[in-house]
A and B are shown apart, each in its own frame.
Chain A
Amino acid sequence: MNTQGMIGVGYRRKMTNALLDGSDIHPEFVELAPENWIDVGGTWKQRLNRVADKYPILCHGLSLSIGSPDPLDMDFIKKLKAFLDEYQVPLYSEHLSYSKCDNAHLYDLLPIPFRQDAVDHIVERIKIVQDVLERPLVLENVSYYTPVAAEMTEIEFINAIVKESGCQLLLDVNNVYVNSFNHSYDAHEFIDSLPLESVGYMHMAGHRKIRPDLIIDTHGSEIIDPVYDLFDYTVARTNPVPVLLERDFNIPEMAELDRELSRLKAISKSHWHKETVDHGTA
């Protein structure tokens, strides 16, 4: 299933009827967190099956905890594989963070120390996960509000992970914007320094400024213009990949989300469609 260049939306349960009806919102794929669906039956299984009949499904995990000092949870990874196989998921992504430590899940994304030993540790685990899942792992640059025990920069850390593991990058453009604000760096320079040829997926979302010096990546409001601008800048430098609109809280009317999808589509088409035509005529 080729989802390159498609624009999708993060599937929240309250969107189900609108997605099935398809009159107010028109994503080209939907993304879901497998943790919310593995071993689920009843009504929600039926509804998910109907959504999966209508849209390609991409998965974005929450609990793999690739950067954890704890061992990988192989039972969970096997369940995950069964789920990805059942729904023929062409792309599985996760976060470059950790969410479990000392045998306790935290259900949120904690920043990994930017250190070479953490890189080595994660690279080894990426290979194990990919072997068990029998598919590539695409990892997301996460938003973070404080570094922890860092010995290298964020960009050095991400680049080392991608280079040494060969994994693809889920480039969350909003996270670049949020981090550049919170840690005072230039977002465009950061994008330019990434291994853009390894980008396999992109995320876009809204955020909230809670203090003059701090933005939180909430996924709870609309995307702001500077993030669209950064997206435009990024898309001009990458190959066509699927692009997701994330909206987890304060979910508005579907027509409003659809307008955001249309704007993302217009921006991506302005670069990727042109590129396809250029390639086609070359």
Chain B
Amino acid sequence: MALRESTAKAQSSFADYCRTGETSGIEGAREDRISQYRRLVFSVVQNALNTAYPIVQKKYMSKEDWESLQHRFFSNHPCSDPQIWRMPSELIEYVEQQESELCSKYPALLDLLRFEWQETYLFMMPDLELPHHSNHCPSLSDKVVLEQEMQLLPLKYPVHNTHPSKLKEAQAGQYISMAWRDREKRHVHFMGISVFFALVLENLNTSDITLLEAGKKVALQFGITTDHWKEELDKFVAKLHQKHLIFKA
């Protein structure tokens, strides 16, 4: 590398100041002006995070805690994505690994971040082709094709159907938010589904099996001995088909 150590060091000190707002001196820089860089850089980052997480920002966390989190995140976490619209997803991992105290104060924070990011990601994600399929609604004995632009999100708190102001009283449990991007208007939709159905969908996604085989597998896992689930699964599949999320293979 042609770059001298002192040049790289000056660049590193300046970049570090822009990330943290703290400096122990930057060679040849005007002290009365460097604060403009910190202001501009941090404002770009804040803007991206506020856009990605409007509910967390405006409805769930206090302004002070949110801004302080933004500052800690950008100071301590090296943002790795060259595309700024994707950068906010890195906040989730950062919070999970580094912010246990904040997560105790805001128990639904991680779920809410994941939920909000799921919407952004699904809205923006690359187009995925729907595999060849019949347009008929599948029966339980059929193998199926699932909408590819669909995601399941396991949650500890019901952030998908609870107003953020009520989340502090919400009970921890097992919830699943299913989200998809429709192929006509390309909007993102959400639906809460049971863990049973989520596991059925996961089995269908990973194995070449029929609806009935997937259902039996999950029923066995849950220790269900009656056949009531078959009727429920049938209704669930009809609902998904109506929303163009499942097709007969």
A residues near B, CB below 8 A?
Answer: 35-36, 38-46, 62-63, 67-69, 73, 76, 98, 100-108, 110-113, 115, 117-118, 120-121, 124, 145-150, 214, 216
Contact = CB atoms under 8 A, between A and B. Distances in A.
Interface string B165-200: 000000000000000010001110000000000000
Contacts of B220: none
A54 to B, nearest CB: 20
Contact of A214 (B11, B29, B36, B128): B36
B234 interface: no
A73 B82 contact: yes
B30 to A, nearest CB: 4
Interface string B6-23: 111011101110110000
Contacts of A101: 11-12, 14-16
A102 B18 contact: no
Given A40-B124, A147-B29, A149-B7, 13 more contacts: A40-B125, A42-B127, A43-B123, A63-B83, A69-B11, A76-B82, A101-B11, A101-B12, A101-B16, A102-B16, A104-B80, A106-B41, A121-B7
Given A38-B83, A40-B124, A103-B78, A149 B10 contact: yes
B50 to A, nearest CB: 14
Nearest to A44: B124
B103 interface: no
A40 B84 CA distance: 13
B228 interface: no
B30 A146 contact: yes
B79 to A, nearest CB: 5
Contact of B186 (A46, A76, A103, A111): A46
Contact of A145 (B26, B33, B126): B33
Given A105-B81, A110-B15, A117-B7, A216 B127 contact: no
B74 to A, nearest CB: 9
A111 B40 CA distance: 13
B87 interface: yes
A76 B84 CA distance: 13
A113 B7 contact: yes
B34 interface: yes
A105 B44 CA distance: 12
B180 to A, nearest CB: 11
A39 B86 CA distance: 10
30 contacts: A39-B83, A39-B125, A40-B124, A42-B123, A43-B185, A43-B186, A45-B127, A68-B11, A69-B1, A69-B7, A69-B8, A69-B12, A73-B82, A76-B82, A100-B82, A101-B11, A103-B80, A105-B82, A106-B15, A106-B41, A107-B84, A110-B18, A117-B3, A117-B7, A121-B1, A145-B33, A149-B10, A149-B11, A149-B29, A150-B28
A110 B123 contact: no
Contacts of B85: 36
A145 B2 contact: no
B124 A107 contact: no
Contacts of B19: 104, 106
A39 B124 CA distance: 8
B21 to A, nearest CB: 13
Contacts of B27: 148-149
Interface string B51-74: 000000000000000000000000
B37 interface: yes
A148 B123 contact: no
A98 B16 CA distance: 13
Nearest to B77: A104
A147 B127 contact: no
Given A35-B83, A36-B85, A108 B11 contact: no
Contact of A108 (B37, B87, B185, B186): B37
A35 B29 contact: no
B80 A110 contact: no
